[in-house]
């Protein structure tokens, strides 16, 4: 995908992989560790494109104001679909309010 397909202010979803002993309620694709002492899972993060860098990467902003640089071709990144925009508008609104 090309960074020209994204604009500043676009709503995006980033599927982040996490590891812990107790996955939260939003955890998806939960698998136990080999020795059973933890779990690996993914959590959808609802971020907003804050800037498009010259190298083509996206600068994404979180609800708490943190920033993440993500390659536009990252398979964990996608533009929010119309139903994600509808269902999670409060989450995206929290990010926008933090800007």
Indicate which CATH number applies to the domain containing 38: 2.30.30
What domain count does the chain have? 1
What is the pLDDT, as a whole number, of residue 97?
Answer: 66
What is the pLDDT, as a whole number, of residue 56?
Answer: 86
C-beta atoms surrounding 27 within 10 Å: 16
Q: Which helix (H) or strand (E) holds 23?
A: none
What is the pLDDT, as a whole number, of residue 95?
Answer: 66
What is the pLDDT, as a whole number, of residue 98?
Answer: 61
Task: Name the pTM for this structure.
Answer: 0.79
The rounded distance, in Å, linking the Cα atoms of 18 and 1 is: 25
Instruction: From residue 70, give the alpha-carbon distance in Å to each of 27, 32, 39, 82.
Output: 21, 27, 25, 22
C-beta atoms surrounding 42 within 10 Å: 18
The rounded distance, in Å, linking the Cα atoms of 70 and 91 is: 20
> What residues of the chain score a pLDDT lower than 70?
1-4, 94-99
């Amino acid at each position: 995908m090309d960074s020209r397909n994204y604009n500043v202010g676009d709503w995006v979803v980033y599927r982040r992989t996490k590891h812990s002993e107790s996955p939260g309620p939003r955890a998806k694709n939960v698998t136990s560790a080999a020795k059973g002492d933890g779990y690996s899972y993914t959590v959808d993060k609802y971020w907003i494109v804050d800037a498009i860098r010259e190298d083509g990467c996206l600068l994404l902003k979180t609800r708490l104001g943190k920033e993440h640089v993500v390659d536009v071709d990252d398979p964990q990144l996608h533009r929010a679909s119309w139903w994600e925009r509808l269902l999670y508008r409060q989450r995206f609104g929290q990010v926008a309010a933090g800007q």
